[in-house]
Amino acid sequence: MNDDASQPAGPSARAASPREHLSQVRAPVAVGVVGPPDVVQSILSLDAAVGGNVRLIGAAHHVDSELLTRAQAVSEDADIILFTGPLQYDLAADKLPIPSTFVPISGTSLFSALIRAAENPAIEMDRISIDSISRSEVEEAYADIGRSTSGLHVAPYDGPESVDGFSRFHTELYRAGETTAAFTTVKSVANRLQADGIPAVRMAPTTANLRSAVMTSALLGTGSLLEEAQLVLMTVHVTSPEGSGHWGWSNYRLQGARLTVHQLLLEEVEAAGAALLAYEGMTFGITATAGALRQLTDNLHTAPFVDRLQAALGLQAFVGIGSGRTVQEADAHAQQALGLAQSHAGHPAQVVGADGTVVGLPPRSRRRERVVADDRYAHEREMLRRIIMALPDTEPEPLIVDAARVAEALSVTLRSARRILNSLVAAGLAWTMPPAPSPGGGRPRQRFRLLIQRLEPR
């Protein structure tokens, strides 16, 4: 069912399929789709394919200056925002009160564009410029079709500022005779190049990518991966530099590396309120809540720890993440996920949910390391102060609340209270706690621990 325009994000697999799982959710999951009109409309056209328990709400913008306003407006009616690409996500996600995700850029978009461009005899596939996609993905795509990449020029997406240079990148190469066409994911760049007489081919997500993105965003919107079982276990395994399992290092060097890995993991884990346990060799276990997992993975967007371990030690890590209704079930799912991570190139972390749903997480790109202002969470900190001031002085510590308590304290609706609490979790100012039985029966109440010690001094 559509309200206006757009929807998206991510991969999945069996026991119950994402669509089957979503069919068990009583209230429809509202997904706000934000991006250029053509991609938004493509997502909305998938309405029948995602089932009646997902409601797609379109919020198309024609220029970037409209993006934030459109996203904030649709967030009032949505459970999660699906941006049509990483640019839109980077420009607006931090300023929204609800979770968000985006349709990832991948080599499949390049494949589709190459097929369309083949109809133009003036375009030589071995002499083109490509933006947004990483060099490794381009090389992988061309290797699959047996073509050389020596004549290709690539400018990967590396944050919103990198988009400003895409037009110049393509133009200079074409004017110099280095390329025969420009392949871009950015509509405004394509329009500008075409106006200057430069052949430009727009790379857009495939229908399969859009469908996968919609299902993943809907799952995130319901919290269905982790909602019923708040217990999350992770297993982190660091491989030898050659990946053979035989380190070939001296015991002194190996122990030094192990201590460095332990310290690095400890920093991230403690910041999220989780617990770390060292196993044998280069394997570590982590016990966390669903809220901690969302913080560590940027709302199930990126593989935790992998990028830092690679940067600090040059070591490859694989992460298995499992949730379950019991410790045994969560541990079994974590081990299953670790096996999947080790066998799925490009997704070094895998999540196996309580119902068997699988989601692969890619490594964090440099684009994700955004430099943000010191007052990034000023609004959330102020909201936490308001909640604390509104609660009775006799309230025991640690402060644990649910949406009903916050709604009453702030005189807001339950829906608004849930959004406020989720935004506090995303800002690291609250932890998600195990659900508590509802006094009148029915669905358990989700509880949150308010982290007043993380408030900055006024």
**Nearest alpha carbon to residue 169 among 146, 149, 152:** 152
Class of domain 107-202: alpha beta
- Placement of tokens 């968000």 in the chain: 100
Tens of pLDDT along 261-282? 888 898 888 877 788 888 877 8
Q: What angle do CA 231, 233, 239 make, to 5 degrees?
A: 170
Give dist(CA 305, CA 311) in Å, integer: 10
Average pLDDT, the chain: 80
Write the Ramachandran bin of 32: left for phi over 0, alpha for psi from -120 to 50, otherwise beta: beta
Architecture of domain 18-102+210-220: 3-Layer(aba) Sandwich (3.40)
pLDDT of 444 above 90: no
Cα within 13 Å of Cα(319), Cβ side: 28
End-to-end Cα distance, the chain: 46
Give dist(CA 264, CA 366) in Å, integer: 18
Count Cβ atoms below 10 Å from residue 292 Cβ, excluding itself: 24
- The secondary element (H helix, E strand) that includes residue 74 is helix 67-74
Within this chain, domains 18-102+210-220 and 107-202 share the same CATH topology: yes
Pull the structure tokens for residue 386: 């308001």
Q: Where do the H-state alpha helices sit in 223-359?
A: 251-271, 290-296, 306-313, 327-343
Q: Of all residues in the chain, what percent carry a pLDDT higher than 90?
A: 27
Tens of pLDDT along 205-237? 888 888 888 887 877 776 544 453 367 899 999
Architecture of domain 378-454: Orthogonal Bundle (1.10)
Output the pLDDT for position 382.
82
Helix (H, G, I), strand (E, B) or coil at 126: coil
Q: Tell me the domain boundaries of the chain.
A: 18-102+210-220, 107-202, 232-368, 378-454
Tens of pLDDT along 395-405? 666 678 888 88
Output the pLDDT for position 51.
63
**Nearest alpha carbon to residue 125 among 161, 157, 94, 149:** 149
**In the predicted model, what is the mean pLDDT of residues 449-453?**
77
Identify which has the larger pLDDT, 434 or 151: 151
Confidence tier at 336 by pLDDT (50, 70, 90): very high
Residue type, 237: H
Confidence tier at 453 by pLDDT (50, 70, 90): low
Identify which has the larger pLDDT, 103 or 8: 103
Output the pLDDT for position 249.
65
**In the predicted model, what is the mean pLDDT of residues 96-104?**
85
pTM, entire model: 0.53
Output the pLDDT for position 174.
96
Which CATH number applies to 232-368? 3.30.70.270
Confidence tier at 375 by pLDDT (50, 70, 90): low
